[in-house]
Amino acid sequence: MKTIYLLVVLAPLFGAVIAGLAGNVIGRSNAARIAVAAVAVSALGSLWVLYQHVWGGAPVFDETLYQWAQVGGLSLEVGFLIDRLTAVMMVVVTSVSLAVHVYTIGYMHDDAGYQRFFSYINLFTFAMLMLVMANNFLQLFFGWEAVGLVSYLLIGFYYRKESAIFANLKAFLVNRVGDFGFLLGIAAVLMYYGSLDYGEVFAAATLRPDMSLSIFGTEALVATVAGVLLFIGAMGKSAQVPLHVWLPDSMEGPTPISALIHAATMVTAGIFLVARMSPIFELSDAALSVVLVLGAVTALFMGLVGLVQNDIKRVIAYSTLSQLGYMFVALGASAYAAGVFHLMTHAFFKALLFLGAGAVIVALHHEQDMRRMGNLRRYLPMTHITMLLGTLALVGTPFFSGYYSKDVIIEAVHAADRFGAGFAYWAVLLGVFITALYSFRLYFMVFWGEERIDPHAKAHISHLPGYVLPVMQWPLVALAVPSVVIGYFTIEPMLFGGFFDEAIHVLSDNDVLAKKGETFHGPLAFGLHAAVNPAFWLAVAGAVVAWFFYIARPDLRPALTRPMAPLIAVLERKYGFDELYRDGFAGGGRQLGALFWRGGDQAIIDGVIVNGTARTIGRLAQGLRGVQSGYLYHYAFAMIIGLLLLLTVFVGRWQGWF
Amino acid sequence: MLSLLVWLPVLGGIGVLVAGRDDAARARWFALGVAALVFALAVGLWVAFEAGVAGMQFIERADWISAFGIQYYLGVDGISMPLVVLTAFATLLVVVAAWEVVQYKPAQYLAAFLIMEGIMIGVFSALDAILFYVFFEAMLIPMFLIIGIWGGPNRIYATLKFFLYTFLGSVMMLIALIYLRTEAGSFAIQDFYGLQLPLATQMVLFLAFLAAFAVKVPMFPVHTWLPDAHVEAPTGGSVILAAITLKIGGYGFLRFSLPIAPEASMALDWLLIGLSLIAVVYIGLVAMVQADLKKLIAYSSIAHMGFVTLGFFLIFRILAGSGSRDGALLALEGGMVQMISHGFVSAAMFLCVGVLYDRMHTRRIADYGGVASKMPVFAGFFVLFAMANAGLPGTSGFVGEFMIVLASFQAGFWYAAIAALTLILGAAYSLWMIKRVVYGEVDNEHVDTLTDVTPRERLLLGTLAVAIIAVGVYPAPLVEVMEPSLDALFRIVVPTF
């Protein structure tokens, strides 16, 4: 098995190196072939691994590959931990990655940076696999930062574009703020649990759950401190308020990577992290409450921003923020498996929505503004159907995958009695209405209503044969299938069958999913239950409202928006986070730097101390030079004075005057 | 072996002067031969070095000035050996980097670097205090010449500042060494260890050493000579300055301050820790607002060296905080690894600036923009090195910082929190520079005429890239070599533990 694990990880690395370093030598199509083949190998390997771990009875694999460094008694290692949680993540990552790779062949086929692009997404797949397969914090941090690097490179892929290179710097720095907390969390883990190896850390944490430390003048549980610090890292990577600001801007990157990195995989690393760290988080209700509340805030308030966006990718980006919030709500309610379950279903339907959006954008010759779309179902029937399926999954239509995963979260948080659970329940419930509203707003604006297409784009679109390119169409279909059905087939085993027992640790008092399991009677009954479920009716309401104001009576829209103008203004400003960070942190940092440089280094140290000393010595020398006048009588006078002084001292000592 | 490493480059330098007086090509090939031979010897030293041993190896000892008990006494341990190899590596890079670039007195230029190399290896391998002092001072001369002859327009101010700053510090050290001779009865550095001096004496000694080494590192607030020196120095001068001479400060703390004055080190650790943390934050912020590429990298060097001194002097607080010997070792080894890594990364960054400067003859960030469009391969290297500078895992820049942040948490939350700010600040100044220089639309017609790296430059930058990634992915061999010696040092500094 070890060989297969290595193969899964190293194949994309190999592809990245070849496509990156020898891309110009082997040419465009060969680079693409190698990259796609590498990820295909990885995806097949991952499926095999999942099969082995679920049906083949493969044992949990926890082994060191090599020792990175040995310091005293502390061993820092690189190694794999493969259990069902890892296996699920591997399959999600590699299968979405494969779809995106294939799609890229079409999407990027005119781009000069073709090989570079394939090299980056191969490298991303490698880094993400290193992250999810780690059995220790060192490698986790490596993968964590490496996916951040690739994200940086890909957001800035169009490096001539000012907005893109602003966005990638912003993304990296905001992520670094999260990593600041993350690294301190790792340091806390090392200090109190004495290792960086997951197994040893979790054992130590479980053994001494009451260990506390003093911080900010109060005593706190180690698990709380470590948990919150690690969660700060998760907030950066998974874009939770207030570290969410980079994700909408990351849409500057090419659409395939918005699907892969900024929707399906990398941004879910934070969810994976908290699920993986469940033995630590379970020890601290406080840490879980932080997760719960911030997740709920993100789920609700970022969804609201999605309502006022007109850029098709940004709507989906805000939707991603909101859905990530749902996942954190699940984690915060101790329903880790539900969080991972939603991660999986979301990966498929959100990647589908992004790739569909990419198809629309390409068809319209790089038009992203939904106000210049409309009625596109006539021109892009396949894209329309697949995106409709994705939308239905996202809003939680019964029997679609998103219904199962989202509904479990809502019910789990309803059953939880942790601080903040009440607020979170209402936030995610209201979020369902908002999700349906922005999703169907997008759907109607793009595919229905009157055609508002730019004539130039129109000319482009009429050349297209019903779909964009076959190579871009198949990934949509391939993602649509799991978006629809995967929830139905996997909810029972994954959530109520003890599927994650070896990977995720939940205290029995906290186990809201087990409580849910008692009333679960199969996916069919669960789907039919929608009829008496407020969430379902909220989703229907959202869709109806969108239909009414965008299709039935668009003329009534001003009557709706006018009284809400102040609220809309706040939403369009995105609550002012960007301005605060730009002026407060970035601007403040620069002003502070300039102050230190000009005031500290130049004025005080160089001006007063260094050059001042030089000047003082110079002046002193000037003065002393006057003494050496060269006139004999000056010297004779000085000698006499000196002699007199010495005599005075000598005589004084002798006489005992002083 | 060590004598060969010290004197071969010095003699080779003289040879270059003679052989290449009026034939630049011969001077280059001769210098390359010498540098390559020295590097090969240095690699041989690494191979022959016994990793599990704490004490000195390859010892050479003879009387030199017997009237004063001064000896010619050389040897290396796990602390100095990697630095010797790094010196040979950096010098080889500099010789290759100068190839077509230095047209004014190339023989003298190359000779100066080779002589500098011998002297620096001498500094790292001298075990007699006076011999160390001689090398330590002699080092100033070639560097003085390098900046003074091949430097920029403001070189006189810069050289003077550089010379006076460093000279002032080292005079204090000389007095301290002579005093120690009277206590220990010999000039052998290891005889100075474990003298059980009273705390007040230790304090004076510690401050004298601090004056010498703090300037070299350089620590806040005696750092302002470095940006000026870098700006005026030619590319090779900057590489050696950043990669090697700064390390002599860090090395001095390990060889002298900590083991000779351990109690004073402990009593004054707040000062060193405070100054180190200021270096990380204050200097990091200053680096961000620099308009000159070299100044930016110079300030970033100071911030990175702050981690070195932080790691070295945090050990007492780590022991007080967690009582963990592993934690203290983590800090010491982190500091050492940071020194080696910074040797690679700063050399790479200055070489990158050199590549740009050779083409554009400006170091102002504002004069660039959109370089990636014209120099894609170069851009790839520059981004990689900037990432290493920002401490990205998988590069050498990560290893030391990671170890030190982990260790500093054991001294207290706030030490770690302030140190970890480097994650944000380092990324901010490194990547903001990249954004302005490498990315964007082609800014002006000068950038438009840029040509990508030559095979020679590609080799140089490629070698450094491999080294940076190798240490980042697998630092174990490096750490393994250092550990016994650092552990022995730790026992001298904290004998009760």
Assigned token pair, A168: 């990638």
d(CA A307, CA A492): 34
Higher pLDDT, A610 or B477: B477
* A230: pLDDT strictly greater than 90: yes
- pLDDT for A349 equals 94
* Span B401-429, average pLDDT: 94
Q: What is the pLDDT of residue A107?
A: 87
| pLDDT for A446 beyond 70 | yes
Burial of B408 (0-12, 13-18, 19+ CB in 10 A): buried
Contacts with A144 from chain B: Cβ below 8 Å: 393
Query: What per-residue confidence (pLDDT) applies to A468?
Result: 57
- pLDDT score of A614 more than 90: no
A589 contacts B288? CB cut-off 8 A: yes
User: Could A68 and B476 be called an inter-chain contact, meaning their C-beta atoms sit closer than 8 Å?
Assistant: yes
Here the tokens at position B381 are 């290297």
- CB–CB contact B432 A594 (8 Å): no
Provide the angle, in degrees to the nearest 10, between the axes of the packed helices B376-389 and B413-437.
170
Question: Which comes out higher in pLDDT, residue B106 or A134?
Answer: A134
CA distance A76 to chain B (A): 9
What residues of A are in contact with residue B483 (Cβ under 8 Å)?
A: 70-72
What does the pLDDT look like over A171-195, one tens digit per residue?
A: 999 999 999 999 999 999 999 999 9
Cβ contact (<8 Å) for A160 and B440?
Answer: yes
Burial of B139 (0-12, 13-18, 19+ CB in 10 A): buried
Check residue B343 and give its pLDDT.
94
Of B286, B387, B406, the CB nearest to A186: B406
Q: Rounded CA gap, B32 and B13, in Å?
A: 11
pLDDT for the residue A657:
67
Tokens of B206: 């510690």
Mean pLDDT of B285-290: 92
B:431-450 residues touching chain A, CB 8 A cutoff: 431-432, 435, 438-441
B397-424 mean pLDDT: 94
> CA A283, CA A279: separation in Å to the nearest integer?
7
Q: How far is A185 from chain B (nearest CA, A)?
A: 9
User: Closest Cα to residue A160, out of B230, B473, B22, B448?
Assistant: B448
Say which residues have a Cβ less than 8 Å from residue B134's Cβ, sequence separation at least 6.
Answer: B126
Residues in chain A with CB shorter than 8 Å from the CB of B448 are: none
- For residue B432, which residues of chain A lie inside 8 Å, CB to CB? 169
Q: What is the pLDDT of residue A327?
A: 95
**Span B449-458, average pLDDT:** 90
Residue B369 within a domain: yes
CB-based burial of residue B207 (10 Å sphere; 0-12 exposed, 13-18 middle, 19+ buried)?
A: middle
Give DSSP secondary structure letters for B168-203.
HHHHHHHHHHHHHHHHHSS-BGGGGTT----HHHHH
pLDDT of residue A153: 94
CB contact set of A522 (below 8 Å; sequence gap of 6+): A492
Q: Over pLDDT 70: what percentage of chain A?
A: 98
pLDDT at B460: 93
Return the pLDDT at A283.
93
The residue ranking higher by pLDDT, A47 or A514, is: A47
Residues of B with CB below 8 A from A166's CB?
A: 435
- Distance linking the first and last C-alpha atoms of chain A: 94
- Report residue A587: phi and psi, to 5°: -65, -45
Residue B296 has pLDDT above 90, yes or no: yes
Domain presence at residue B356: yes
Query: Hey, which residues 124-183 in chain A have their CB within 8 Å of chain B?
Result: 138, 141-142, 144-146, 149, 152-153, 156, 159-160, 162, 165-166, 169, 172-173, 176-177, 179-180, 183
- What HEC string does A34-84 produce? HHHHHHHHHHHHHHHHHHHHHCCCCCCEEEEEEEEEEECCEEEEEEEEECH
Q: Which candidate from B285, B290, B423 shows the least CB-CB separation from A589? A: B285
The kind and range of the H/E element at A275 are helix A269-276
Burial of A104 (C-beta count, 10 Å sphere; 0-12/13-18/19+)? buried
Size of interface A-B (CB pairs under 8 A): 139
**Predicted local confidence at residue A250, as pLDDT:** 92
Residues A219-235 have a mean pLDDT of: 94
CB atoms within 10 A of CB B414: 12
Number of domains in chain B: 1
DSSP label of A463:
T
- Could you tell me which of A102, A122, A111 has the C-alpha nearest to residue A472? A102
Flag whether residue A588 sits within 8 Å of chain B, measured between CB atoms: no
pLDDT at A431 over 60: yes
The pLDDT confidence band at residue B7, using thresholds 50, 70 and 90, is very high
Interface probe for B, chosen from A166, A191, A602 (most Cβ of B below 10 Å), is A191
CA distance readout (Å), B302 to A631, B225, B282: 52, 11, 10
The C-alpha of B389 sits at a distance from chain A's nearest C-alpha, in angstroms, of 13
Judged against a pLDDT cut of 90, whether residue A119 lies above it is answered with yes
Mean of per-residue pLDDT scores for chain B: 91
Give the length of chain B: 497
pLDDT greater than 80 at residue A470: no
Q: Which pLDDT value is given to residue A46? A: 96
Inspect the interface and report whether the beta carbons of A593 and B288 lie closer than 8 Å.
Answer: yes
What average pLDDT score do residues A13-24 get? 91
pLDDT at A145 over 60: yes
Predicted local confidence at residue A463, as pLDDT? 63
**B284 lies in a domain?**
yes
Question: Residue range A549-571: average pLDDT?
Answer: 88
Asked whether the beta carbons of residue B428 and residue A173 sit closer than 8 angstroms, the reply is: yes
Which residue segment(s) compose the domain that B291 sits in? Answer: 268-497
Q: What is the pTM of this model?
A: 0.92
In whole numbers, what is the pLDDT of chain A averaged over residues? 90
| Residue A403: Cβ within 10 Å count | 28
* pLDDT for B216 beyond 60: yes
Please give the structure tokens belonging to residue A146.
Answer: 């490496």
- Give residue A18's pLDDT: 93
- Which one has a higher pLDDT value, A130 or A512? A130
Q: Is the predicted pLDDT of residue A92 greater than 70, yes or no?
A: yes
b/e A461-495 (16+ beta carbons within 10 angstroms → b): beeeeebbbeebbbbbebbbebbbebbbebbbebb
Residues of A in contact with B282 (CB under 8 A): 596, 600
Please give the structure tokens belonging to residue B379. Answer: 């851009």
Contact A190/B at CB under 8 A: yes
Coil, strand, or helix at residue A136? strand
Residue B221, pLDDT > 60, answer yes
* Count of Cβ atoms closer than 10 Å to residue A60 Cβ: 13
Cβ separation A183–B286 shorter than 8 A: no
- Which residues of chain A have a CB within 8 Å of the CB of B322? 191
CB A106 within 8 A of CB A258: no
Reply yes or no on whether the pLDDT at A601 is more than 60: yes
Query: For B423, which of A142, A153, A180 is closest by C-beta distance?
Result: A180
B479:A70 CB<8 A: yes
Average pLDDT of the segment spanning B325-354: 94
3-state class (DSSP) for residue A22: coil
The pLDDT tens digits of the residues spanning B254-274 come to 999 999 999 999 999 999 999
pLDDT of residue B448: 87
Structure confidence at residue B439 (pLDDT) = 92
Kindly tell me if the per-residue pLDDT of A467 is higher than 60: no
Residue B487 lies in a domain: yes
Q: What is the mean pLDDT of residues A491-511?
A: 87
Q: Which residues pair with A67 in a beta bridge?
A: A77
3-state secondary structure of B326: helix
In the DSSP assignment, the letter for residue A334 is T
pLDDT of residue A464: 63
Conformation bin of residue A656: beta by default, left when phi > 0, alpha when psi is -120 to 50: left
| CA dist., res. A235 & res. A216, Å (int) | 22
The single-letter code of the amino acid at B460 is: L
In a domain, B125, yes or no: no
Q: Is the pLDDT of residue A156 over 70?
A: yes
pLDDT band at residue A79 using 50, 70 and 90 as cut-offs: very high
The CA distance from A236 to A172, in Å, is 10
- Whether A160 sits inside 8 A of B287 (CB atoms) is no
In a domain, B323, yes or no: yes
Tens digit of pLDDT for each residue in B153-211?
Answer: 888 888 888 888 877 788 889 999 999 998 888 899 999 998 888 999 999 999 999 99
Confidence of residue A343 (pLDDT cuts 50, 70, 90): very high
Question: Is B164 within the bounds of a domain?
Answer: no
Instruction: Report phi then psi at B187, rounded to 5.
Output: -95, 5
- CA distances B144 to A538, B105, B116, Å, are 77, 16, 11
| Chain mean position to CA A246 | 9
pLDDT band at A462, cuts 50/70/90?
low
- CB contacts under 8 A, B 163-182 vs A, are 165
CB-CB under 8 Å, A188 with B329: no
List residues bridging with B71 in a β-sheet: B63
CA contacts within 13 A on the Cβ side of B87: 31
Instruction: Grade residue A49 by pLDDT with cuts at 50, 70 and 90.
Output: very high
